[in-house]
A and B are shown apart, each in its own frame.
Chain A
Amino acid sequence: MLKSARIQVTGKRVQLMATCLCDAFYDDVAIATVQVLEYLGCEVVFPDSQTCCGQPAFNGGDWEASRKVVRHTVRAFEGNDPVIVPSGSCAAMLFHGAQIEFEKEADKESVAALGNRTWELADFIVNGLNIKKWDGNFKSTIAFHRSCHTRGSDSVEASLTLLKSITGLTILEIGEPEQCCGFGGTFSVSFPVISSSMGNLKLDHIRAKNAELVVSPDMSCMMHLGGLASREGKPIKSKHVVQILRDSLINAGLIK
């Protein structure tokens, strides 16, 4: 259902949507995204006027507010180049969620056009650029968390394809992989009890794996789980998939 027929990738120029979360908290994830895309020969354009994909208001039910932000995003990302997002959730907002809230809007075509050229990063590398093997090495054992908003898309499979091909990397799947970490955007603050319990169950599964790192294609899950773990006084180490890809290149001296 989330799979939309994406426009084929022809040129090497891409637009980066850093996501508001990386803009505010996780700058290294955005940096790694630039480094990885540049390693692949892409020219990365960062539209400076970008803000947020509009998902918080969409999920909160305030579609009028959300559409305002989506319209701004459509303007910020004008052109025809693929839009690359290091988040399955924000990418799905553009190619799936935004399409729903614009069903009855006069400008739905422009929103559809943006959706059709929006890619989650790993999906773009594997299915857009047709790269199935990742260079470099990363000696570690990681626990992989499937972020829920990648469901129905090709992102998890793409992430795992890349990670599994990295020399030295062992990937463990967390127990009950279908269960959500409890974040859910505004859900985490409007249902704090249920949200926290969900997160704690996920943390139990993660800790049971004794992995060195938790890795996910979405920082929002990591923010939630990391926040819970840190408050407990038992912090977990987490990274985004793209940080592993980047570090793998650095470890092999392929980039600086």
Chain B
Amino acid sequence: MALQQIDTFASRLRPETQAAVYDGSKKGYEKRTKLLFDDYAQPDELRKLAGKIKQHVVENLDTYLPAAEERLKANGIHVHWASTADTACNQVLDIMRARGATRVVKAKTMVSEEIELEAFLHKNNIECLETDLGEFIVQLDHDKPSHIVKPIIHKNRKEIAELFEKNGLGTYNDEPEVITRRAREFLRKKYLEGDVAITGANFVIAESGRIVLVTNEGNSRFCLAATSCHIAIVGIEKILPRDRDLALFLNLLGRSGTAQELTVYTEFISGSKALTQPDGPQEMHVIFVDNGRTDVLSSDCKEILRCIRCGACLNVCPVYRQASGHSYRSVYPGPVGAVLSPLLLGKNFPQKADLPKASSLCGACNEVCPVDIPIPDLLLRLRARAKDEGLPSPGTPPMGGWAVMASQPAAWKAALVAGKLINFMPTKLLPVPPLRAWENTRDLPQWRGGEFRSWLKKHKS
């Protein structure tokens, strides 16, 4: 019987990888929850408020995006609009070429993964170096990030030490401090050689034209200090209306993502360097990327655009913990990815229409989401879309016949009684695939169809 791709992937996952993902996510969830509930009497109210603000933004992007553009430009920042990944990549290339630049130092940004910027730049003979430690390791290993916030959650330190040794970064040593120091020594020189810094933005503030970056390693600051041009690539949904909204969002983002009251670095950037500043980019660009987002906006799943990419839903998700991020075949894995990744594909939705199936609909993702996205409801809507588009769904029993039975009380009652037959036959022999899938690891309880109704009849008489 054909299995779902994600289930098959999980069954073949190396035990070390599964353990690394499981432990990392579990710890992430536990620390997040403790900190949030230690610090706030009613964190759920904060999540709901943040959700309302972000929903308001999503529904009023037509107002906020022009407002942000105006303020960014007033701050001397060049603003570009990219409807597709391809456009965004070419805009980066054009900026590079106009400056005769050949080297990029890059901070972590998921949207750059989404538009596959690194491969594009590489093809165009531009060196693009990841400076976030996790992303640096991913790049060194020609791997892919498996988590929105912790790109190498799937690797253990032994693997990383081996990778460093193979790449001439010292002899084998798996102490995290040593690994970090070696990466740092390597990267320091590279910052100085960089021409252009590429970052994302966690928030863009419409009223002030400020972009906000949160990091923990200070690498984005080195990127900006050493280069003469800064390009921030931003999804169009990253807007917040006012500077003061940051009070809520920064508090929630740090706690939800990495269980920190605040990340180590929070940068507020409102333009290229001032005349009085010794270092920093003389030129700054913001590229707003659509790449399918306006399609999401017009769908019945627009709540997913509230997402602030904290990764809390990945950490708590029992399916993600078993399957790891790579099983989702997407830049955005886990519950948020199961909604966002197929949606961003637009008409190619069928390629990832299986992702929304990978959930027991337990709702843990919604419970931890700092912007209260009703992820299970969105997964259900996408399942319905897949069915409407006639897409196959391995393992999901067909429901047509069942619906007919369940609308005809007489047939239903007869089936309840007839079902007792399964008590007397080996279920392994029954030609019902879902029953077989159940029976591989689980026993069925005794069939007792009709017993309650008989009891009730006697009880009432």
Contacts and interface: CB of A to CB of B under 8 A. Distances in A.
A31 B397 contact: no
Interface of A: 1, 18, 20, 22-27, 30-31, 34, 46, 48-52, 54, 56-66, 68-69, 71-72, 76, 97, 100-101, 148-149, 151-152, 176, 178-180, 182-199, 201, 223-224, 226-228, 230-231
Interface in B420-451: 433-435, 437-438, 440-449, 451
B369 to A, nearest CB: 11
A56 B437 CA distance: 16
Given A189-B397, A198-B360, A25 B407 contact: no
Nearest to B356: A61
B381 to A, nearest CB: 7
Main secondary structure, interface of A, reads helix
B7 A191 contact: yes
B360 A184 contact: yes
Contacts of B362: 148-149, 151, 179-180, 184
Contacts of B455: 27, 31
B442 A194 contact: no
A187 B361 CA distance: 9
B153 interface: no
A90 B451 CA distance: 20
B443 A61 contact: no
A72 B402 CA distance: 13
Interface in B136-182: none
Contacts of B400: 62, 65
B363 A230 contact: no
B318 interface: yes
A182 B364 CA distance: 12
Nearest to B382: A61
Interface string B390-404: 000111111110111
B440 A192 contact: yes
Given A24-B419, A72-B406, A191-B395, A184 B447 contact: no
Contacts of A148: 360-364
B377 A100 contact: yes
Main secondary structure, interface of B, reads helix
Contacts of B386: 61
B330 interface: no
A152 B201 CA distance: 32
17 contacts: A1-B366, A23-B453, A24-B448, A24-B449, A26-B448, A62-B399, A152-B363, A176-B26, A185-B361, A187-B361, A190-B394, A191-B10, A192-B395, A192-B441, A193-B7, A194-B318, A197-B10
B406 A51 contact: yes
Given A179-B318, A180-B362, A196-B442, A61 B452 contact: no
A97 to B, nearest CB: 7
A63 B384 contact: yes
A49 B366 contact: no
A255 B407 CA distance: 36
Contacts of B451: 27
Given A1-B374, A25-B448, A227-B443, 4 more contacts: A60-B396, A62-B400, A68-B406, A192-B7
A100 B382 CA distance: 12
Nearest to A50: B409
B396 A61 contact: yes
B357 interface: yes
Nearest to B8: A193
Contact of B407 (A51, A58, A179): A51
Interface in B327-366: 357-364, 366
A178 B316 contact: yes
Contacts of A224: 442
Contact of A180 (B318, B387, B438, B456): B318
B293 interface: no
Residue among A27, A62, A65, A191 with most chain B CB within 10 A? A191
